[in-house]
Amino acid sequence: MSVADERAAMVERLRAGGVTDPRVLAAMGEVPRERFVPGEASDQAYRDSPLDIGAGQTISAPAIVALGVAALGAGPEAHVLEIGTGSGYGAAVLARCCGSVVTVERHPELADRARDALLALGYDNVEVRTGDGTAGAPDRAPFDAVLVTAMADERPPQPLLDQLAPHGTLVCPVGRHGHGDLVRYRGGRAEELLPVAFVPLVGESGADQPS
């Protein structure tokens, strides 16, 4: 099966699994996921499972990426903040769906690799930053949407909520010990979407982010 066929099959699995947003499905069908995984894992790029990318981090399974982006409900002109760049794949999907993306990664080697991959593929509407994601990007706020790709301990960091535009949406995994729920915050309400497993959200101190 060719890479294009594998990507198309992945999109059909996402559709069958409940992802209905046509822009998200189109983005997942356009972004070459194999360019964001280590070379030795390129033949596994379209499996619906996370893959190791180094520094103790993973690229999330395609279904989790699609569901997270779809849950934001962000429009084509939206200004979006992503916390946890990882491989850069999620930022690429966001870049296909939204107007501009700021993405923050605490591991410099991952941030550099993601930046190179995104630039090589022409995603010039993505700004990759290295730093403490729990602080967000206040100089680029407000954001129409915020997507967190690591698990917060009981609630998202307050700075991320503070950087949301009025009527904005934040999607974040919340739980303990790597297991919890993907939760959507908007209009002052929290909505649990589905059970998930993620690496912990770590702040500047290097410790798991407290609630």
Interval 174-184: pLDDT, tens? 999 889 999 99
pLDDT on residue 210: 39
The structure tokens 């129409």 sit at 144
- Reported as a single tens digit per residue, the pLDDT across 41-59 is 999 999 999 999 999 999 9
Does residue 189 lie within any of the structural domains? yes
Is there a domain that residue 188 lies in? yes
Q: In terms of residue numbers, what domain contains 96?
A: 3-197
* Averaged pLDDT, 121-143: 98
Which is nearest to 90 in space by CA: 120, 114, 57?
A: 114
Mean pLDDT of 176-198: 95
Mean pLDDT of the chain: 94
pLDDT above 70 (res 205): no
Active site residue 49: no
Give the residue from 202, 164, 205 showing the smallest Cα distance to 84.
202
60, 87, 205, 211: the catalytic one is 60
10 Å CB burial of residue 61 (0-12, 13-18, 19+) is: middle
pLDDT in tens, 60-104: 999 999 999 999 999 999 999 999 999 999 999 999 999 999 999
Assign residue 144 the CATH number of its domain. Answer: 3.40.50.150
Domains identified in the chain, total number: 1
